[in-house]
Amino acid sequence: MSVLIAGSIALDTVKTPFEEHTDLLGGSTSYCAVAASFFSPVNLVGVVGKDFPQQHIDFFKQRGIDLAGLQIADGLTFRWSGEYMVDMNVRETRSIALNVFEHFNPVLAPGYAETPFVLLGNIGPDLQNHVLDQVKNPKFIIADTMDLWINIARDELSRLLKRVDMLILNDGEARLLTQQASLIKAGALIQAMGPRFVAIKKGEHGCLLFGENGDFFSCSAYPLEEVLDPTGAGDTFAGGLAGYLASTVKDKVTFADLRKAVVHGSVLASYNVEQFSLERMRTLTQKDVDARYASFQKYSHFEVIE
């Protein structure tokens, strides 16, 4: 089955202590869609400007991503610039230019409304709700969010949480949303806000998955000797998770399905950080993904994800 993915598409400038690159393909939709495409068909919803490079559109097409929902507006593409410190968990945003994204109105292309799986990338909850207003009888809805929306759009975010099956957010965002230091308490409180499932990302320390009736799964991150660019790792995780679910679930999504999906999302994210932007995804093969998944099982002794 297909995944509908709506979010931002950007051109990024990324600086690390070792390298700096400009005009990189970025944005939540880009990372989510490419990751999901390793498992299932993707219907993309986003906006870019006239300056958006054709090579990036060609890359989406090479991944089999449906671009009927891609708007090309007059003006410049959304641009983001960030710098990572020696500790790659610490990042500073240097500049943001919303450009055509400032007036983005996500309108679903013909046929998109019936997409069974929906992944709402990290955009304002008002836009996420607007997308949900257009879909029809989705099987499973996943949403991502961030500290900005928690701080400035809490009411709209609260409305969204009552409409989704799963929320994905990082540990800092979970604490901000719930005002709880304990992530275990935070996960349960977020579920009480609406989502049946919650995934709390902890960067290089993995992910916590909360399910119904007290179900809980702690997934480590894949051990890497070197990380070149962590930009989009969380979006890649979400896209891989959603794509895996769409490729395997025929009926109702279960906690067992989500455990496997979390690990597949982690595997995709572990590859993505090995190069800048989505460059690693251009050469990644399904054989690579399967091999790292098997390795993940072996060293972690994860019988539950066999």
Closest CA to 80 of 209, 232, 239: 232
For 85, left (φ over 0), alpha (ψ -120 to 50), or beta?
A: beta
59 phi/psi in degrees, rounded to 5: -65, -45
CATH no., domain 3-144+219-305: 3.40.1190.20
- Which pLDDT score, from 0 to 100, does residue 229 have? 95
Identify the pLDDT of residue 237.
97
Which candidate, 113, 236, 119, places its Cα nearest to that of 166?
Answer: 119
Q: What's the confidence (pLDDT) of residue 303?
A: 55
pLDDT in tens, the chain (306 residues): 999 999 999 999 999 998 999 999 999 999 999 999 999 999 999 999 999 999 999 999 999 999 999 999 999 999 999 999 998 888 999 999 999 999 999 999 999 999 999 999 989 999 999 999 999 999 999 999 999 999 999 999 999 999 999 999 999 999 999 999 999 999 999 999 999 999 999 988 899 999 999 999 999 888 898 999 999 999 999 999 999 999 999 889 999 999 999 999 999 999 999 999 999 999 999 999 999 999 888 776 555 445
Domain ranges of the chain: 3-144+219-305
3-state SS string for the chain? CCEEEECCCEEEEEECCCCEEEEEEECHHHHHHHHHCCCCCEEEEEEEECCCCHHHHHHHHHCCEEEEEEEEECCCCCEEEEEECCCCCCEEEEEEECHHHHHCCCCCCCCHHHCCEEEECCCCHHHHHHHHCCCCCCCEEEEECCHHHHHHCHHHHHHHHCCCCEEEEEHHHHHHHHCCCCHHHHHHHHHHCCCCEEEEECHHHCEEEECHHHCEEEECCCCCCCCCCCCCHHHHHHHHHHHHHHHHCCCCCCHHHHHHHHHHHHHHHHHHCCCCCCHHHHHCCHHHHHHHHHHHHHHHCCHHHC
Pairing status of strand 65-73 against strand 42-49: parallel
The torsion angles phi and psi of 145, rounded to 5 degrees, stand at -150, -175
pLDDT of residue 14: 97
- pTM of the predicted structure, to 2 decimals: 0.95
Listed residue (226, 214, 304) closest to 262, CA to CA:
304
Let me know how long the chain is: 306
Distance CA 150, CA 162 (A): 15
- In 3D space, the residue among 263, 255, 261 whose CA is nearest the CA of residue 302 turns out to be 263
Residue 217's pLDDT is 94
Structure confidence at residue 296 (pLDDT)? 86
